[in-house]
Structures are given as C-alpha cells and as structure tokens.
A and B are shown apart, each in its own frame.
Chain A
C-alpha cells in the first residue's frame, strides 16, 4: 500500500535555528497537509496545499512557517527561527479522495 514518507524521524535543533521537515506524499494525491501534535495534546492543523499554493492555514501558521513543493514530489515545511514551543511531532498527510487522508509517520522536532 502506498505510504507518505517523512524525514527525518527525529530532529534536534537549537533555538533560533531554521529547520526543514520533508515529506514525500503519495504520487497521485493532490492535496497536502501539515499537522502538529505537542506531546500529550491533540493533533492541530497547520496548513493545506493544493495546486502549488496554500489553500488554508491556521492561526498557528504564522510568518515563521512556510511550505513548498520544490520538485513535484517533495513537500516541505520550513520553520525559520525555531522556538522552544515548536517542539512537537509534525505529521504530513496527503489525500486524493475527499476522505482518503494518509498520514506519514511523523517527525519529532525537539528545540533545545
């Protein structure tokens, strides 16, 4: 069964540094998403991406965040200047049908 692949699985970064989280969605999917889950809390929507542009974003997704689909296969989330509170599990998801979301295994980001 096709999978959404996320790399790295765990990243540790210094506060103030830039990080890029990478995702390879399923090839025929058209919609792409980033969610995050702070430890012990609910999963929160960050941003959705369709037709090479952001289609929706949450209040969490401020100017420190950006997304890109640089080469037609990868889908990246960049955090420009990380804060301690950015420490979380970040999930990429993609879908083709209205309800067919597939999630990746997540990237655990630790900001120290």
Chain B
C-alpha cells in the first residue's frame, strides 16, 4: 500500500517570504499523480497544485511550485511571496494512475502560519 509522509507538523513564514513544505511517499508504481491540497479553517479541501509522475517538468501555479524528485520519492511545495491568506493546513496526497485504484492517500498535514 502507498503511504504519504509529511514530517513537518507545523511551519511558519513571514509575509512576503518563501516557505517550502516537505512530502515523501512510498510506492512501487511508476505512474501516479501527486497533489497538494489546502485546508483553511473552514475545512474546505482546495486543490493547490498537481503533478503527473510521467512529467519531468515541475508543476507551477502562480506563487506555488513543486520540486518533484521521482527517484527520491519526494514532492515538496514551495510558496513564494507568502500572503496572510496562505495560512492553512496543507495536505500532500497520492493517487495511483492504475485503473484499479483511484483513491487519494493523504499525508498527516502541515499547519502553515503566516506572520505579518
């Protein structure tokens, strides 16, 4: 079974600075998807960014980018120019690309605080 590990329960960053959230995963599969979700206090799950494992290029969405290291099974999220609205719980998630499974497997989450 796949597992996802987020080793940083809490992180903090100054407004306008850059922060990187870590995620590692364990899988024997070669084709899969990786995601970062944001969960603000409202507890809604909001997709931040996704990465297809077959793509070597790291995904970018505005101030959010990932560092995908397939061999190391690492998938970190970089938030540039942090804003107060970025404060939330961030979850890393894995999904097999195989037809048999489409569940998302989540990590434990990282609580991000943005200091003014």
Residues of A within 8 A of B (CB): 31, 33, 35, 37, 41-45, 48, 55-56, 58, 89, 91, 93, 95, 98-99, 101, 103, 105-106, 108
Contacts and interface: CB of A to CB of B under 8 A. Distances in A.
Interface of B: 33, 35, 37, 42-47, 50, 52, 91, 93, 95, 97, 100-109
Overall SS of chain A's interface: strand
Contacts of A31: 102
Contacts of A43: 45, 91, 93, 104, 106
Contacts of B45: 43, 91, 93, 103, 106
A5 to B, nearest CB: 12
A42 B50 contact: no
Contact of A106 (B37, B43, B103): B43
Contacts of B46: 103
Given A43-B91, A99-B33, A56 B43 contact: no
Contacts of B52: 99
Contacts of A99: 33, 35, 50, 52, 95
Contact of A45 (B37, B42, B50, B105): B105
Q: Which 4 residue pairs across A and B have the least CB separation, nearest first? A: A103-B45, A45-B103, A43-B106, A99-B33
Given A99-B33, A99-B50, A99-B52, A56 B103 contact: yes
